Structure 1
Amino acid sequence: MRRWLRMTGGLLIWAVHFIGVYLISSAADVWSSSEAASARWIGLAFSMGCLLADIAMAVWLSRGRREVFGPEAWERRVGLTGVLVAAIGVLWQTAPMAF
């Protein structure tokens, strides 16, 4: 299970971010307006938390033995690529809230 978490952890964070921002926006639309400042601040705080989780995941993946070869090195590269894609996705989904 840990091997799968190493490879897909960043993408799971991105999925949680997508669902969370959608739920925040939907709740804000029901209670007031999705353009309300409070909804934007909550969404931005949630997005920053997800971005920090991506950074923590990247640090966790980059630590360890550097001279590892074989499947473990491949899993690390896949995981780091997933974290990079996830961080870009989080930033891309956050941009409309910030402006």
Structure 2
Amino acid sequence: MSTITTDDVRHLAQLSNLQLSDDELAALQVDLENILNYVHQLSELDTSNVEPTYQVSGLENVWRDDVVRQGAADREALLALAPEQADHSVKVPQVL
């Protein structure tokens, strides 16, 4: 079993950029110890005869062919719609 110290919780809080009061540190220490104890209990389970489960809902991905379709508009027609153009491109105001 793992024992989480207050220094461990302070270190985790610092890494997470959290500012915790002493009461919050103590509560988080208890919570983390409970979580680690639960994970330790799970690691003791015998799962040798249990099949891995990756998908439980039975849903499958529906794929479609990725087909490039020629649109009705070509480059020249789209450029003609732009208020200003330069060098075969749409001219926009400078943004800094």
Q: TM-score normalised to the size of structure 2?
A: 0.33
Q: TM-score normalised to the size of structure 1?
A: 0.32
Higher helix share: 1
Higher strand share: 2
Q: Which has the larger radius of gyration?
A: 2
Which has the bigger relative contact order, CA under 8 A and spacing at least 6? 1
